[in-house]
A and B are shown apart, each in its own frame.
Chain A
Amino acid sequence: MTTPTPTLPAPAYALSSEREAALLAGARKSVRTSTLKIWGLRAIIVALWLGSWEVTATYFIDPFFYSKPSQILVRLVQWFGTGTQFGSIWENLGYTVLEAVLGFVIGTVAGVVLGVLLGRSSYLAEVCSPFIKAANAVPRIVLAALFIIWFGFGISSKVATVVVLVFFAVFFNAFTGAREVDGNVVNNARILGASKSKILTSIVLPSATTWILSSLHTAFGFALIGAIVGEYAGAKKGMGMLIANAQGTFDSAGIYAGMIIVTVVALLAEMLITTAENKLLKWRPSQATTQAQGI
């Protein structure tokens, strides 16, 4: 050490810079190999699954009923290349996603507003509880058929189906989140001078956010199901209609192809929601500890 500036003696636990670099590199390398291992095994599982399906369907069972991976791939290429019988695949997919997203937004807002309202007012909660329980017990998916009669074959009947599915998923979490707010924290805010509305926006909503966000994962799944079931019940466009049509023409490869496309959309949405969640909840201990892992 020949630096001109006076330096403190290094503490006993301090590591030399080479040793530290080696440790960090080692930690990175072990993370890399474990990621590689995980993805390798995943690839093998998928290859085994698809391969055995392909072989079984070619030699033992009737691919007319069960289809096989190569047929599904052909159907996907056909849909994305030359389009479906009912126009471009993107148009159909866009239609379904639009319904799901519209219904998701409306259902989430309604669920959060009503959930927080009832969560903060035990009187209203008491009054509404039997109605909510009854409404939740109704097999709501059947409403899709009713909405077609009410709103016709257009987009609004599907959005309505999505809204009823999403609403309850979000409502119960928002309700619990708003009810479970730490009373001590609310009292503290009151003492510090918070008005009723400030308590709602600066204490209740943020504390309920954890609950609400965790419900959004299932809620978006419900939104896609709602849109597809709505289209299945009657529509001129959309993935649900394509699937229903494939069923009508005994095109099992078409049903699988439709399922795969919807699954990919659901996974993308899931990724978006997780990103938003991590952004909004960066204060959470769990988030911080996952970052601190590794060494």
Chain B
Amino acid sequence: MPATQVPLIELKAATKRFPKNGGGIHTAIHNVNLRVAPGEFVAVVGPTGCGKSTALSLISGLQPASDGETFVHGELVTGIPRGVGYMFQTDATLPWQTVLDNVASGPRYQGKSRTEAREQAREWVHRVGLGKFEKYYPHQLSGGMRKRVALAQTLVNEPQIMLMDEPFSALDVQTRQLMQHELLRLWSGTDAAVVFVTHDLEEAIALADRVVVMTASPATIKADFPVTLPRPRNVEEVRLTPEFLAIYRQVWESLREEVEQARMATSLGG
């Protein structure tokens, strides 16, 4: 990241604590520092339950930090910052609306007319490959199709900041590659920053400019690996290059310790 540029997203010593179920306090993330420039694609990996989703919720403004600060567009985050799109880890489609109306809800909230919103939505529904299903209700779709609805719902607003929480983990391998491809294509034309949480290290490296590794709970940032593979990338072919494998080995080395530690902590009943 060029030093002169104002980061689009900045977490400064951010800490988030939750009350524990049986009393006491659980620290989800601790002292996290992260800067993301406009147009940058950052992948976040870490063991399960370490606090990746929590970090995203701080950036989105849905939750306040317990300590430290979050800045978006250089402004302190107090509510939901403008231009943020957030694809949740869990399903958030409206069951009583069709695919088309679900995708149109963003433009509707922004004050567009119904026809205009549907027009825009239809284009995105087609782009994510659900053209034949625009009149379906979510319960009539497969899990992967619902994820694609969520993707279209997020992208139709053309966010400057895309927070994506394991967006493709429910998809089959072919659809996943298709969506990765599509995401890169859509993002490359824009100045949007992407923070992409995933458990799939290959996906992280194939897509991102940087891969951030988080420690086992409470999460802080352990390492930050630049991915220097040239763009435009072909997500299927780039995995086979020696550069890719070199980066993969490096990142996996770092991640493995954390995964093992997390596994140990949970098996000890921590």
Contacts and interface: CB of A to CB of B under 8 A. Distances in A.
A236 interface: no
Interface of A: 182, 184-185, 187-195, 198, 202-203, 206-207, 209, 281, 283-285, 288
Contacts of A202: 105, 108-109
Contact of B109 (A185, A194, A206, A281): A194
B92 A193 contact: no
| A interface: dominant SS | helix
Interface string B92-132: 11111110000001101110000000000000000000000
Given A198-B109, A288-B140, A191 B90 contact: no
A241 to B, nearest CB: 44
Contacts, number: 59
A187 B96 contact: no
B84 interface: yes
B80 A189 contact: no
Contacts of A184: 88, 90-92
B137 A191 contact: no
A191 B86 contact: yes
B60 interface: yes
Interface residues of B, number: 26
Given A187-B86, A209-B96, 18 more contacts: A184-B88, A184-B91, A185-B92, A185-B94, A188-B86, A188-B92, A191-B60, A191-B62, A191-B86, A193-B157, A195-B109, A202-B105, A281-B96, A283-B95, A283-B98, A283-B139, A285-B139, A288-B139
B167 interface: no
Interface of B: 60, 62, 80, 84-86, 88, 90-98, 105-106, 108-110, 137, 139-140, 153, 157
Contacts of B62: 187, 190-191
A198 B86 CA distance: 19
Given A206-B94, A283-B96, A283-B97, A189 B109 contact: yes
A193 B107 CA distance: 8
A194 B79 CA distance: 13
Given A184-B92, A283-B96, A288-B140, A191 B110 contact: no
Contacts of B84: 191
A189 B105 contact: yes
